[in-house]
Structure 1
Amino acid sequence: MFILGLVASTFGAIVGLGGGVVIVPALLLLGPSMLGMDIDTALAVGVSLGALVFTSFTSTLTFVKERKADLRSALFFSLSSGPMSLLGASLTSLFHPEVFRRAFGFFMLFMVILLLFRNRIKPYQGKWRYVRTYTDVDGIKQAYGYNALPALLVGGAVGLIAGLLGIGGGILLIPTMLLLFRFPPHIASATSMAVIFISALFGSGMHLIRGEWDWMLVLSLAPGSLLGGWIGARISRRIGSVLLIRIMCGTLLLFALRMII
C-alpha cells in the first residue's frame, strides 16, 4: 500500500492529475489478492479521495514555494468544484459507473487529440475578463485568463468527476486550462493540484459521512501519498513544457483506454 501510494501520487503530481486514476483501479483489481477483501466502487473512490488529500497537499505546498501554483485561480475554480464533489460523492453508490466511465474515456481520447494537435488549432482570440500573467525562466511573459461562468462550469464538472469516480478531476481540468484558458503547462499542472486538494477534501468528507471509508486503507496509503506528492512536484519543475505536454498526453491516452476497456 505504501508503494501504491508512492507511485500513484508521484506520477499524478508530475502531470497534475492527482493519482486517483491509479489508486481506484488498483484497489478494485488487487483488493482480493493484496488485501484479502473485496472492495466495491464506493469504498475504492472514498479511499482514493482520502489519499488524494495527502498527495495534493504536499504537491501544492511545493508548487506554491516555487511560485507555480496560481492560488487565486485555483480558489475560483474551487467555488464550484468543492460543492459539486459533495454531490458526486453522494451519487457514487447509486450510480453504476461503467457507462459513464466508457463515455468519459472516449471524451478523454478526444482531449488527447486536441492536445496533440493544439499547435494547429487556432487559439481562442477573445478577451477574458480575468487575465493573469506568468514569466518563465527565460523572461518571456505569457498571458492567460478566464471568465467567471466558463471557469465555474469547468470547476463544477471537475468536482463532480472527482467525487463520483475518485480520480481528482485533473483529466478534465488540465486540457481545459491548456486549450481554452491558455494556461502555461507548468502553471496548469500546479494549479490543478490545488483544485484537486479542495475537491478531494470535500468529496472524501462526504464518503466518510456515508460510511464509504476505511481508515486503515487511507492511513496505509497516506505516507506514500505525502512523499510522492512532494517528489512529483520536484520532478515536474525539471521537465520542459514540450515534454510535460507529451507526458500528459500519454497519461490521458493510457487511462482513456483503461476506462473504455
Structure 2
Amino acid sequence: MPVFDIGLNVLLGLALGALGGLFGIGGGLIAIPVLGVLFGLDQQLAQGTALVMVVPNVLLAIWRYHQRNRIDFRHAAALALPSFCFAIFGAALAVSLDASRVRLAFVGFLFALAAHTLLRAFRRTAPGSGQLRHPWPWLGVLGAGAGALGGLFGVGGAVLATPVLTSVFGTSQVVAQGLSLSLAAPSTGVTLATYALHGQVDWMLGLPLAVGGLLSISLGVRLAHALPERLLRVLFSGFLVVSGVLLALEA
C-alpha cells in the first residue's frame, strides 16, 4: 500500500477513534459502513477489518473511562464473560450468512436503537447514577445477548448494552458507555479471531486505522464526560441513524 494511502487511512482512524471514544463503542460502528462505501468491502470483510481498529481502541477507552468513572470489576465481569462465550456463536454464524441480509438486519437494529435512545433523551426520567437499579448478576443476561449480537454484526454489542444499562439498570450515559466497553473487549477479540480464520480481514487497511484510532480515542472520552447527559444521548442517537443510513446506501 502506498505511503500516501496509509497516511489517509491513519487520518480516517483519527476521526473514527474520536467518535468511538465519545460514544463508548471503539469506532467500529461507523467504520463498517465507511469501509463498505469508501473501499467497496462486503459486509463480512468490512466487519472483520473494522475489528482490527476496534480491539485496541476498546482496551484504551476502557482505561480512560475507568480513570474518570471507576468501573466495578464485578459488573464488568458479569457482562464480559457471557459476552465472550456468546460472541463465538454469533461470529461463527455471521461468516456463513448472506452479506446483504446481515447488512439489512444491522440497519434495522441501528434504527430501532436510535429511536429508543432519542425517546429517552426527551422523556422525563430519574437522573442516571453509578449504582445499578437491579442486582448485578442480571448483567449476565445482557452480556449474553449483547455478545451474540456483537459476534453476528462485528460490532453492536456495546451499542445495545448502553441504552439497556441506562433504561433498565438506571446508570448514567457515561457509566453505561464505560461498562459497555468492558462488555465489548473480550467479544470483539474473539470475533476478530474468528473473522481472521475465515479470511475476512484486510490487515493492511485495518492496521493504519488502528494507529489513528489509538491517537484520538482519549479525546473522545474527555468530550463524553464534558457534555450534558441529554445532549450526549441525542448525539448518540443521531450517530446511530447516520451509521444506519450509510449502511443502507451500501446496499
TM-score scaled by structure 2?
0.83
Matched residue, 2:39: 31
**Number of paired residues?**
239
Change (3 A) 1:67 1:212: same
Q: Helix, strand or coil for the counterpart of 1:233?
A: helix
Higher helix share: 2
CA distance in 1, matches of 2:44, 2:132: 40
For residue 148 of structure 1, the aligned residue among 137, 144, 151 is 137
Are 1:253 and 2:241 an aligned pair? yes
CA contact (8 A) 2:22 2:223 kept: yes
Higher strand share: 1
Change (3 A) 1:230 1:155: same
For residue 23 of structure 2, the aligned residue among 4, 9, 15 is 15
For residue 92 of structure 1, the aligned residue among 85, 91, 94 is 94
Matched residue, 2:188: 200
| Paired amino acid for 2:119 | F
Change (3 A) 1:245 1:122: closer
Superposed, which structure 2 residues align to 1:49-64 within 5 Å?
49-64=51-66
Superposed, which structure 2 residues align to 1:218-257 within 5 Å?
218-257=206-245
CA distance in 2, matches of 1:169, 1:227: 24
Matched residue, 1:209: 197
CA contact (8 A) 2:44 2:99 kept: no
Q: Helix, strand or coil for the counterpart of 2:226?
A: coil
Structure 2 gaps, min length 5: 1-8
For residue 44 of structure 2, the aligned residue among 19, 42, 57 is 42
- What displacement does 1:40 show? 3.1
| Paired amino acid for 1:67 | N
CA contact (8 A) 1:70 1:190 kept: no
- What displacement does 1:80 show? 1.3
- Per-residue CA deviations over 1:86-109 (Å, capped at 9, x if unaligned) read 222222221124334434433443
CA distance in 2, matches of 1:101, 1:58: 28
- Per-residue CA deviations over 1:179-206 (Å, capped at 9, x if unaligned) read 1111111101111122222221111122
Q: Which runs of 4+ in 1 moved over 6 A?
A: none
- What displacement does 1:259 show? 4.4
Change (3 A) 1:10 1:92: same
| Paired amino acid for 1:14 | L
Are 1:177 and 2:182 an aligned pair? no
Identity of aligned residues (%): 26
- Per-residue CA deviations over 1:41-75 (Å, capped at 9, x if unaligned) read 32221111121111111111111122343443122
TM-score scaled by structure 1?
0.80
CA distance in 1, matches of 2:169, 2:106: 21
Structure 1 gaps, min length 5: 33-38, 124-132, 135-141
Matched residue, 1:130: none
